[in-house]
Amino acid sequence: MHAVVVYESMYGNTHAVASAIAEGLRGSCEVDVVAVSQAEPGVLEGADLLVVGGPTHIHGLSRPTSRKAAQDAGHRTGGPPLDPAAEGPGLREWLDGLEGEGVACAVFDTRLRGLPAFTGSAGHGIKRRLQRHGYRPVTSAQSFTVDKNNHLVPGELQRAAQWGRSLGSL
Protein backbone atom coordinates (compact mmCIF):
# COMPACT_ATOMS: atom_id res chain seq x y z
CA MET A 1 0.00 0.00 0.00
CA HIS A 2 1.15 3.55 -0.74
CA ALA A 3 -0.06 6.44 1.46
CA VAL A 4 0.42 10.17 0.97
CA VAL A 5 0.08 12.55 3.91
CA VAL A 6 -0.58 16.16 2.85
CA TYR A 7 -0.59 18.86 5.51
CA GLU A 8 -0.90 22.60 5.99
CA SER A 9 0.97 24.02 8.98
CA MET A 10 1.57 27.57 10.17
CA TYR A 11 3.61 27.07 13.35
CA GLY A 12 4.75 23.44 13.00
CA ASN A 13 2.12 21.62 15.07
CA THR A 14 0.21 20.13 12.14
CA HIS A 15 3.53 19.30 10.46
CA ALA A 16 4.65 17.39 13.57
CA VAL A 17 1.32 15.53 13.72
CA ALA A 18 1.56 14.66 10.00
CA SER A 19 5.06 13.28 10.53
CA ALA A 20 3.91 11.20 13.51
CA ILE A 21 0.98 9.79 11.51
CA ALA A 22 3.38 8.89 8.70
CA GLU A 23 5.70 7.19 11.18
CA GLY A 24 2.78 5.05 12.35
CA LEU A 25 1.81 4.21 8.77
CA ARG A 26 5.37 3.19 7.85
CA GLY A 27 4.93 -0.08 9.72
CA SER A 28 2.52 -1.27 7.03
CA CYS A 29 3.06 0.80 3.90
CA GLU A 30 5.22 3.19 1.90
CA VAL A 31 4.51 6.82 2.91
CA ASP A 32 5.22 10.25 1.45
CA VAL A 33 4.72 13.36 3.60
CA VAL A 34 4.17 16.57 1.64
CA ALA A 35 3.38 20.14 2.64
CA VAL A 36 0.38 21.44 0.72
CA SER A 37 2.53 24.28 -0.59
CA GLN A 38 4.69 21.64 -2.34
CA ALA A 39 1.93 19.19 -3.32
CA GLU A 40 2.15 19.13 -7.11
CA PRO A 41 -0.61 17.28 -9.02
CA GLY A 42 1.53 14.15 -9.56
CA VAL A 43 2.20 13.65 -5.85
CA LEU A 44 -0.94 11.53 -5.47
CA GLU A 45 -0.19 9.24 -8.40
CA GLY A 46 -0.45 5.62 -7.28
CA ALA A 47 -1.70 6.50 -3.80
CA ASP A 48 -4.02 3.98 -2.15
CA LEU A 49 -4.63 6.23 0.86
CA LEU A 50 -4.63 10.02 1.13
CA VAL A 51 -4.32 11.50 4.63
CA VAL A 52 -4.98 15.25 4.80
CA GLY A 53 -4.67 17.59 7.77
CA GLY A 54 -4.58 21.25 8.63
CA PRO A 55 -4.89 23.73 11.45
CA THR A 56 -8.27 25.04 12.54
CA HIS A 57 -8.58 28.76 11.80
CA ILE A 58 -11.70 30.63 12.90
CA HIS A 59 -13.76 27.42 13.36
CA GLY A 60 -12.75 25.75 10.09
CA LEU A 61 -10.27 25.49 7.24
CA SER A 62 -7.82 28.33 6.83
CA ARG A 63 -8.53 31.06 4.31
CA PRO A 64 -6.01 33.32 2.59
CA THR A 65 -6.82 36.07 5.12
CA SER A 66 -6.40 33.84 8.18
CA ARG A 67 -3.13 32.42 6.80
CA LYS A 68 -1.86 35.95 6.18
CA ALA A 69 -2.73 36.93 9.76
CA ALA A 70 -0.94 33.83 11.11
CA GLN A 71 2.11 34.53 8.93
CA ASP A 72 2.17 38.17 10.05
CA ALA A 73 2.06 37.03 13.69
CA GLY A 74 4.98 34.69 13.02
CA HIS A 75 7.03 37.46 11.42
CA ARG A 76 6.62 39.80 14.39
CA THR A 77 9.39 39.92 16.96
CA GLY A 78 8.47 37.46 19.67
CA GLY A 79 5.80 35.85 17.50
CA PRO A 80 5.55 32.09 17.10
CA PRO A 81 8.09 30.67 14.63
CA LEU A 82 6.62 29.84 11.24
CA ASP A 83 6.80 26.36 9.77
CA PRO A 84 9.22 26.34 6.80
CA ALA A 85 6.32 25.46 4.46
CA ALA A 86 3.83 28.00 5.87
CA GLU A 87 3.96 30.30 2.85
CA GLY A 88 1.89 29.47 -0.22
CA PRO A 89 -1.55 28.08 -0.96
CA GLY A 90 -3.60 26.35 1.71
CA LEU A 91 -5.63 23.17 1.80
CA ARG A 92 -8.87 24.93 0.85
CA GLU A 93 -7.44 25.93 -2.53
CA TRP A 94 -5.55 22.67 -3.07
CA LEU A 95 -8.59 20.50 -2.33
CA ASP A 96 -10.65 22.28 -4.96
CA GLY A 97 -8.39 20.87 -7.69
CA LEU A 98 -8.56 17.19 -6.69
CA GLU A 99 -10.29 14.20 -8.27
CA GLY A 100 -10.21 11.04 -6.15
CA GLU A 101 -12.33 8.46 -7.97
CA GLY A 102 -12.90 6.31 -4.87
CA VAL A 103 -9.41 6.56 -3.33
CA ALA A 104 -9.47 5.97 0.43
CA CYS A 105 -8.87 9.01 2.61
CA ALA A 106 -8.49 10.00 6.26
CA VAL A 107 -8.58 13.47 7.77
CA PHE A 108 -7.09 15.21 10.79
CA ASP A 109 -6.77 18.69 12.19
CA THR A 110 -5.10 20.58 14.99
CA ARG A 111 -7.23 22.81 17.17
CA LEU A 112 -7.54 24.27 20.62
CA ARG A 113 -8.66 21.94 23.38
CA GLY A 114 -12.41 22.13 23.93
CA LEU A 115 -15.69 21.08 22.40
CA PRO A 116 -15.71 21.39 18.60
CA ALA A 117 -18.86 23.53 18.90
CA PHE A 118 -16.67 26.15 20.57
CA THR A 119 -13.29 25.59 18.88
CA GLY A 120 -14.40 24.53 15.42
CA SER A 121 -12.67 21.85 13.38
CA ALA A 122 -10.88 22.07 10.06
CA GLY A 123 -11.27 18.29 9.72
CA HIS A 124 -14.97 18.43 8.93
CA GLY A 125 -14.43 20.85 6.03
CA ILE A 126 -11.51 18.81 4.71
CA LYS A 127 -13.59 15.63 4.81
CA ARG A 128 -16.56 17.26 3.03
CA ARG A 129 -14.33 18.60 0.27
CA LEU A 130 -12.58 15.25 -0.22
CA GLN A 131 -15.93 13.47 -0.48
CA ARG A 132 -17.17 16.06 -2.98
CA HIS A 133 -14.14 15.24 -5.14
CA GLY A 134 -14.66 11.48 -5.10
CA TYR A 135 -12.54 10.38 -2.13
CA ARG A 136 -13.84 7.70 0.23
CA PRO A 137 -13.33 8.34 3.98
CA VAL A 138 -12.26 5.21 5.86
CA THR A 139 -12.60 6.66 9.36
CA SER A 140 -13.90 9.71 11.18
CA ALA A 141 -11.83 12.90 11.32
CA GLN A 142 -9.31 13.08 14.17
CA SER A 143 -8.43 16.23 16.09
CA PHE A 144 -5.09 16.76 17.83
CA THR A 145 -5.11 19.54 20.38
CA VAL A 146 -2.88 22.50 21.11
CA ASP A 147 -2.89 24.59 24.27
CA LYS A 148 -3.54 28.33 24.52
CA ASN A 149 0.19 28.97 23.90
CA ASN A 150 -0.04 27.06 20.61
CA HIS A 151 1.94 24.00 21.73
CA LEU A 152 0.78 20.45 21.16
CA VAL A 153 -0.72 18.96 24.29
CA PRO A 154 1.56 16.24 25.75
CA GLY A 155 0.82 12.80 24.31
CA GLU A 156 -0.66 14.06 21.02
CA LEU A 157 2.27 12.94 18.88
CA GLN A 158 2.08 9.44 20.36
CA ARG A 159 -1.67 9.42 19.72
CA ALA A 160 -1.03 10.55 16.12
CA ALA A 161 1.46 7.71 15.57
CA GLN A 162 -1.06 5.24 16.98
CA TRP A 163 -3.74 6.61 14.67
CA GLY A 164 -1.32 6.17 11.75
CA ARG A 165 -0.77 2.52 12.76
CA SER A 166 -4.54 1.99 12.87
CA LEU A 167 -4.93 3.55 9.40
CA GLY A 168 -2.31 1.17 8.06
CA SER A 169 -4.31 -1.81 9.26
CA LEU A 170 -7.57 -0.78 7.54
Q: pLDDT for 17-27, tens place per residue?
A: 999 999 999 99
Superfamily of domain 2-168: Flavodoxin domain (3.40.50.360)
Smallest Cα–Cα separation from 36: which of 10, 13, 71? 10
pLDDT of residue 57: 62
Give the number of other Cβ atoms within 10 Å of residue 78's Cβ. 5
Q: How far apart are CA 46 and CA 64, in angstroms?
A: 30
* pLDDT-above-90 percentage for the chain: 52
Which pLDDT band, with edges at 50, 70 and 90, does 149 fall under? confident
Q: What mean pLDDT is predicted for residues 39-46?
A: 87
Residue 60, beta-bridge partner list: 57
Bigger pLDDT: 169 or 29? 29
Domain boundaries, the chain: 2-168
43-71 pLDDT, tens digit each:
899 999 999 999 986 656 665 555 566 56
Q: What mean pLDDT is predicted for residues 107-134?
A: 85
